[in-house]
């Protein structure tokens, strides 16, 4: 360095011209700084300088953009910056440039700090989810980058590099993209929480919509959300109702951010798969569709999803036929769009955005229809005379529009049956045979057994007066209906019982067997009450013992019957209620009261077990041993009415056959024992 300086002075001496002198000085200074600045750069540890400058710049940015502020009442305040802090930083940058530290590491440190500042801004209160107005904040983020961040960066860069007015359009665009993607990512990280708080979280969901413009972003969303769902929703602790509720929201939310439905399709796959594996899904869906929202008790029922019931209350959007059947063959469709690129191969375009369609595509038509039949049957049998069947008709129409008329014929007949029975009952009761009796107390429902699901058919004796009424009714029916015969199913009814005691009146609406049991105690008085044992009752009423027990337990809980203290097993009527004491010990046997009118799938399965076993034996005898899946398929085909159970049930059945040593198991294959 010294020789260089000396030579410069020597040159300076050689020239005497004033003008040239200033030029020389400038040159000299230039040369000096050129030689000096590397010394500065070399003499400071680069890494520490970079880190320190980043830290300082970031702190200054935090103050400049007031990232940690708690007060954000004025809406436009987020675009304002704290000039004092920004000026201090600019001064620092000027000074750095003055000593030649403005390039290289300083610019990099600044860029790094800005990046971090953007992240912090996105996570700050300024960019909080708008829970009240439910509007996205993504626009205001873009404005912030444009109005607040970009000018600041420009000034800082010119302070660092000395370029007066750097053209930074390219960079600003990059900062904007960066800010948007950070916002999108931070929203996606909490997406599941937002979904749970829908619709207040609509703003956050719309922020995501602004983010997912690239395939990568969409992929990021799908993967992350699927992980969240797996972890937080699809576990044994979540009730099916809850999962269905969330699924309904997911459908709504994802249709909002992606109208083509590809994201929804991708995201909902695991949920749908999981829902299918739950046995009560179809039942809850149908039950929710039939639910009456006005009824308070139904709202809190564990079997009714609010979201589905709400959705059903909306008008039905008719699905257009052409689009559904062959979307690609509709040459007049001016709105045609090719399949989105990120769709999975079996993606089907959802032509309507309504959530019900998604739910109904969860299962095969047949499965849904058979569940619908069961639930509708139960529902109709419970319905009282004054219900107008509007909801049921509506649901049926909905199913028809999705599944076609032919599948729902049985349900049609069921509705028709209920309507017809009302008319017929009125007619019969008006006829002469009922003129002198209390016929008004009897209503009957005439069901076409062929179309109804399998019903409870426990036989027992009903009280003689009721028997008389029924006989008369049957007679009237035969006159009106071409001598067709009625077969009564006493187990399905409902009876209103009024019991008059010496000191009180008990009035209950109970199933007929319960009424029959209490009628058997008729005739005694306080001094000489009727006493009967369970076995006696079962014999007298020709009723199965479990039903008798159920009924006796019910009446005991109502303090009508009690087990006699002297002879256990004998029940007597409590004619006069003791003052205290007995009142306290009413057992809580009421829970057993609700016995379903329609047989459950499990009942049906166990009842037909022998048939299934005969089929399976014949199958493997004739065709050699075969795997479970093939047996299942063959059963579905060969059994009249199909085999409406899954592998789990079948496996149980096969196992029991192996234990009975009718079959031998070999891996997954079952064969006949030789």
Partner 1 sequence: MDSLLNQASTTTTNSTMTKTSSPARNTNGTANVTKRLQSELMSLMMSSTPGISAFPNDGNLLLWTATIVGPADTPYAGLNFKLSFDFPANYPYSAPTVLFKTPIYHPNIDFSGRICLDILKDKWSAIYNVQSVLLSLQSLLGEPNNASPLNGQAAELWDKDPVEYQRLVLARHRDLSEDELNNSA
Select the residue interacting with partner 1 from 22, 279, 344, 611 (CB under 8 A). 611
Structure tokens at 560: 């009508």
Q: Where does this chain touch partner 1 (CB under 8 A) — which range of 409-417, 428-436, 532-540, 544-552?
A: 409-417
CA–CA dist 137, 140 (Å, integer): 5
- We find the least distance from the C-beta atom of residue 413 to partner 1, in angstroms, to be 6
Q: Which residues pair with 505 in a beta bridge?
A: 500
Listed residue (366, 357, 422) closest to 389, CA to CA = 422
Identified binder of partner 1 from the candidate list 139, 193, 621, 648, rule CB under 8 A: 621
Q: Which is nearer to partner 1, 139 or 416 (CB)?
A: 416
CA 475 distance to own-chain centroid: 51
User: What span, in angstroms and rounded, lies between the C-alpha atoms of 238 and 232?
Assistant: 9
Interface residue with partner 1, options 489, 552, 601, 654 (CB under 8 A): 489
Closer CB to partner 1, 468 or 535, in the complex: 468
Minimum CB separation of residue 371 from partner 1 in Å reads 19
| Residues 452/377, Cβ–Cβ less than 8 Å | yes
Q: Does 190 bind partner 1 (CB under 8 A)?
A: no
C-alpha atoms less than 13 angstroms from C-alpha of 35 in its C-beta half-sphere: 10
127: nearest Cα among 108, 149, 151, 110: 149
Total Cβ atoms within 10 A of residue 313: 10
Total residues in contact with partner 1, by rule CB under 8 A: 59
Q: To the nearest whole angstrom, how small is the minimum distance from the Cβ of residue 613 to partner 1?
A: 9
Query: Residue 70 half-sphere exposure, CB side, CA atoms within 13 Å?
Result: 0
Among 46, 569, 624, 627, binds partner 1 (CB under 8 A): 624
Whether the Cβ atoms of residue 487 and residue 504 lie closer than 8 Å to each other: no
Pattern of binders to partner 1 over 433-472, x per CB under 8 A?
--------xxxxxxxxxxx---x------x---x--xx--
Burial of 369 (0-12, 13-18, 19+ CB in 10 A): buried
Q: Which of 665, 618, 670, 661 is nearest to 639 (CA)?
A: 618
Q: How far is the CB of 509 from partner 1 (least distance, A)?
A: 9
The residue range among 24-32, 44-52, 123-131, 489-497 that interacts with partner 1, by the rule CB under 8 A, is: 489-497
Q: Is 633 in the site for partner 1 (CB under 8 A)?
A: yes
Q: Is omega for the bond preceding 228 within 30 degrees of 0, making it cis?
A: no
Binding characters for partner 1, 377-396, by CB under 8 A (x = yes): ----x---------------
Shortest reach from residue 385's CB to partner 1, in Å: 9
Between residues 215 and 624, which has the closer beta carbon with respect to partner 1?
624
DSSP secondary structure string, 293-326? TT-HHHHT-TT--HHHHHHHHSPPPPPPHHHHH-
> In this chain, which stretch among 79-87, 254-262, 552-560, 607-615 interacts with partner 1, using CB under 8 A?
607-615
* 496 binding partner 1? (CB under 8 A): yes
CA separation for the pair 458, 48 (Å, rounded): 88
Which H, E and C letters describe 606-627, residue by residue? HHCHHHHHHHHHHHHHHHCCEE
- Closer residue to partner 1, CB minimum distance, 54 or 445: 445
N-to-C CA span, the chain: 105
Cβ atoms within 10 Å, residue 102: 21
Q: Which is nearer to partner 1, 346 or 610 (CB)?
A: 610
Which has the closest alpha carbon to 492: 449, 450, 549? 449
Among 238, 634, 658, 664, binds partner 1 (CB under 8 A): 634
Kindly state the smallest distance separating residue 353's Cβ from partner 1, in Å.
34
| Stretch of residues binding partner 1 (CB under 8 A), selected from 69-77, 96-104, 242-250, 412-420 | 412-420
What would the DSSP string read from start to end of 108-173? HHHHHHHHHHHHHHHHSGGG---TTT---SHHHHHHHIIIIIHHHHHHHHHHHH--SS---HHHHH
Between 67 and 492, name the residue whose CB sits nearer to partner 1. 492
Q: Using CB under 8 A as the criterion, what x/- string covers residues 637-656 for binding partner 1?
A: xx-x----------------
CB of 491 to partner 1, least distance (A): 8
For residue 408 the two structure tokens come to: 């729902």
Shortest CB 568 distance to partner 1, Å:
32
Which of these ranges, 89-97, 127-135, 342-350, 407-415, lies near partner 1 under the rule CB under 8 A? 407-415
Contact window for partner 1 (CB under 8 A) among 22-30, 240-248, 539-547, 622-630: 622-630
Is residue 490 within the footprint of partner 1 (CB under 8 A)?
yes
Q: Tell whether residue 142 is a contact of partner 1 (CB under 8 A).
A: no
Q: Can residue 105 be called a binding residue for partner 1 (CB under 8 A)?
A: no
Q: How far apart are CA 115 and CA 118, in angstroms?
A: 5
Q: Which is nearer to partner 1, 141 or 489 (CB)?
A: 489
- Using a 10 angstrom Cβ sphere, with 0-12 exposed, 13-18 middle and 19 or more buried, the burial of residue 194 is buried
- Residue 122 near residue 185, CB atoms below 8 Å: no
For partner 1, give the closer residue by CB, 91 or 496: 496
Q: Does 403 bind partner 1 (CB under 8 A)?
A: no
Tokens of 339: 């399949």
Binding site for partner 1 (CB under 8 A): 381, 409, 412-413, 416-417, 420, 441-451, 455, 462, 466, 469-470, 474, 477, 481-482, 484-490, 492-496, 512, 515, 611, 614-615, 617-619, 621-626, 630, 633-634, 637-638, 640
């Amino acid at each position: 360095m010294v020789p260089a300086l000396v030579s410069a002075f020597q040159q300076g001496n050689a020239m005497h011209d004033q003008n040239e002198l200033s030029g020389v000085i400038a040159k000299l200074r230039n040369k000096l700084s050129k030689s000096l600045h590397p010394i500065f750069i070399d003499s400071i540890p680069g890494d520490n300088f970079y880190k320190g400058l980043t830290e300082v710049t970031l702190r200054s940015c935090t103050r400049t953009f007031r990232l940690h502020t708690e007060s954000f009442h004025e809406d436009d305040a987020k675009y304002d910056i704290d000039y004092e802090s920004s000026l201090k930083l600019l001064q620092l940058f000027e000074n750095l440039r003055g000593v030649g530290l403005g390039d290289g590491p300083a610019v990099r440190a600044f860029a790094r700090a800005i990046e971090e500042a953007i992240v912090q801004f996105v996570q700050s209160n300024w960019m909080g989810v708008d829970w009240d107005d439910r509007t996205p904040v993504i626009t205001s983020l873009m404005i912030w980058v444009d109005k607040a961040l970009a000018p600041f960066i420009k000034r800082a860069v010119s302070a660092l590099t000395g370029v007066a007015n750097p053209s930074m359009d390219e960079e600003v665009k990059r900062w904007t993209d960066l800010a948007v993607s950070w916002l999108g990512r931070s929203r996606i990280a909490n997406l599941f929480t937002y979904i749970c708080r829908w619709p207040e979280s609509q703003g956050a969901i719309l922020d995501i919509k602004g983010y997912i413009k690239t395939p990568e972003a969409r992929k990021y969303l799908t993967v992350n959300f699927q992980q969240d769902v797996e972890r937080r929703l699809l576990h044994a602790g979540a009730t099916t109702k809850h999962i269905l509720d969330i699924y309904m929201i997911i459908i709504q939310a994802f249709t909002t951010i992606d109208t083509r439905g590809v994201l929804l399709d991708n995201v909902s796959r695991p949920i749908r798969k999981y829902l299918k594996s739950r046995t009560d899904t179809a039942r809850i869906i149908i039950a929710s569709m039939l639910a009456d929202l006005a009824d308070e008790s139904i709202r809190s029922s564990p079997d009714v999803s609010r979201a589905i019931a709400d959705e059903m209350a909306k008008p039905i959007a008719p699905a257009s036929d052409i689009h559904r059947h062959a979307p690609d063959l509709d040459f007049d469709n001016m709105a045609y769009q090719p399949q989105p690129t990120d769709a999975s191969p079996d993606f089907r375009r959802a032509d309507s955005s309504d959530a019900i369609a998604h739910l109904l595509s969860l299962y095969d038509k047949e499965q849904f229809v058979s569940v619908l039949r069961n639930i509708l049957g139960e529902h109709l049998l419970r319905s009282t005379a004054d219900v107008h069947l509007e909801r049921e008709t509506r649901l049926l129409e909905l199913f028809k529009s999705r599944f076609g008329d032919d599948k729902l014929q049985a349900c049609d007949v069921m509705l028709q049956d209920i309507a017809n029975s009302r008319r017929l009952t009125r007619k019969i009761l008006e006829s002469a045979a009922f003129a002198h009796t209390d016929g008004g107390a009897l209503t009957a429902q005439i069901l076409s057994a062929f179309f109804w699901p399998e019903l409870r058919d426990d036989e027992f004796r009903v009280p003689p007066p009721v028997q008389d009424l029924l006989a008369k009714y049957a007679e009237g029916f035969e006159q009106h209906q071409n001598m067709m015969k009625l077969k009564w199913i006493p187990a399905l009814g409902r009876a209103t019982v009024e019991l008059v005691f010496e000191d009180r009146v008990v009035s209950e609406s109970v199933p007929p067997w319960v009424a029959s049991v209490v009628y058997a105690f008729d005739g005694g008085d306080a001094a000489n009450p009727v006493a009967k044992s369970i076995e006696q009752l079962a014999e007298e009423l020709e009723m199965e013992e479990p039903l008798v027990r159920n009924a006796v337990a019910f009446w005991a809980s109502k303090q009508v019957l009690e087990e006699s203290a002297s002879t256990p097993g004998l029940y007597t009527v409590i004619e006069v209620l003791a003052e205290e004491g007995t009142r306290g010990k009413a057992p809580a046997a009421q829970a057993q009261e609700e016995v379903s009118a329609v047989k459950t799938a499990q009942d049906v399965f166990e009842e037909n077990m022998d048939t299934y076993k005969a089929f399976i034996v014949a199958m493997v005898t004739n065709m050699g041993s075969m795997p479970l899946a093939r047996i299942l398929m063959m059963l579905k085909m060969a059994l009249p009415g199909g085999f409406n159970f899954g592998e789990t049930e079948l496996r149980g059945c096969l196992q029991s056959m192996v234990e009975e040593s009718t079959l031998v198991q070999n891996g997954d294959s079952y064969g006949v024992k030789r």
